[in-house]
């Protein structure tokens, strides 16, 4: 039986080779991606991708746990990290630990991800000291998109740099850098000891992550400009559904 990639193994990849990550929300998709990635992220992006929500704000702790458990069951090799949804960690470090512990115990995941830099450093430290591995998230924070006016490229170098140093010093095992000027991401990657995982943040991060549905062309909504399409599943599904409907209507399916 294959052993799962561990968080220390991911940390040791910094400076060795790029870290590969994708999102997964279901067991079947997790099983398809498992062999090809270092870690799978059960992102709160599922609210928009799977549930048709306008943002990630409406995602609940129960949703994250249900999908996180499915991804763990569907995978064997990849390290699995689960997002902490909006409202589950901001109130206090104690509340954050209560919810993070529930996520880990009920899903079997290796760690959690939460958004925020300097303002979340105390919470990250509190979690890590109590045995909860934390993947940090700086730059564009989707849970704060309403506050900053949308999904915009982040250019405040000193703030983002300070955020990255804060989460690294607090004990995060790695940090996502989202929608940030590549020069800023490069500087962060060179200055902090933990791996950086880019999404729309340039090629110089220690690794990359994409929303899988964007990568395979399954979604029908807005696709960020930095995404590269590696398949067009949307077209294949649409064609298959059309052909099936035509066969049913013309009594070609099922065959007598």
State pLDDT tens for residues 3-23: 999 999 999 999 999 999 999
Rounded CA separation 167/12 (Å): 18
Q: What is the pLDDT of residue 142?
A: 83
Rounded CA separation 73/54 (Å): 28
Which 8-state DSSP code applies to residue 49? H
Answer with the residue of higher pLDDT: 29 or 1.
29
3 state SS of 57: coil
Total Cβ atoms within 10 A of residue 108: 15
**Pick from 161, 107, 110, 98: which is nearest to 134 by CA?**
110
Which residues contribute to the annotated binding site?
Answer: 44-45, 83, 113, 115
User: Is the pLDDT reported for residue 187 higher than 60?
Assistant: yes
Q: Confidence class of residue 106 from pLDDT cuts 50, 70 and 90?
A: very high
3 state SS of 113: strand
Which residues contribute to the annotated binding site for 3-methyl-2-oxobutanoate?
Answer: 44-45, 83, 113
Active-site residue (options: 178, 232, 235, 246):
178
Per the annotation, the verdict on 178 as an active-site residue is yes
Q: Do 179 and 154 form a contact (C-beta atoms < 8 A)? A: yes
Q: Confidence class of residue 222 from pLDDT cuts 50, 70 and 90?
A: confident
Domain spans in the chain, listed from the N-terminal domain onward: 7-215
Weakest-pLDDT range from 178-187, 192-201, 216-225, 228-237: 216-225
Total Cβ atoms within 10 A of residue 54: 9
Phi and psi at residue 225, to the nearest 5°? -65, -25
Average pLDDT (118-140) is 97
Enclosing H/E stretch for 20: strand 19-23
Average pLDDT (191-198) is 98
Judge: domain 7-215, CATH 3.40.630.150: no
**Pick from 127, 141, 136: which is nearest to 96 by CA?**
127
User: Is the pLDDT reported for residue 149 higher than 50?
Assistant: no
Rounded CA separation 151/140 (Å): 7
């Amino acid at each position: 039986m294959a052993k799962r990639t561990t968080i220390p193994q991911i940390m040791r990849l910094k400076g060795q080779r790029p870290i590969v990550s994708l999102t997964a929300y279901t067991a079947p998709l997790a099983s398809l991606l498992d062999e090809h990635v270092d870690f799978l992220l059960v992102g709160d992006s599922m609210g928009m991708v799977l549930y048709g929500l306008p943002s990630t704000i409406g995602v609940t702790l129960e949703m994250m746990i249900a999908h996180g458990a499915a991804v763990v069951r569907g995978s064997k090799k990849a390290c699995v990290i689960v997002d902490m949804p909006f409202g589950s960690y901001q109130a206090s470090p104690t509340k954050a630990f209560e919810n993070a512990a529930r996520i880990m115990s009920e899903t079997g995941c290796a760690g959690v991800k939460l958004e925020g830099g300097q303002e979340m450093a105390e919470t990250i430290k509190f979690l890590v000291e109590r045995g909860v591995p934390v993947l940090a998230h700086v730059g564009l924070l989707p849970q704060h998109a309403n506050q900053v006016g949308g999904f915009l490229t982040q250019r405040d170098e000193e703030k983002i740099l300070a955020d990255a140093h804060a989460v690294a010093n607090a004990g995060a095992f790695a940090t996502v850098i989202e929608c940030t000027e590549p020069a800023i991401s490069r500087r962060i990657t060179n200055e902090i000891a933990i791996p950086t995982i880019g999404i729309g943040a340039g090629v110089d991060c220690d690794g990359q992550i994409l929303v899988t549905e964007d990568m395979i062309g399954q979604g029908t909504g807005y696709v960020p400009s930095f995404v590269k399409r590696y398949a067009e599943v949307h077209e294949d599904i649409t064609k298959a559904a059309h052909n099936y409907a035509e066969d049913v209507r013309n009594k070609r399916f099922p065959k007598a």
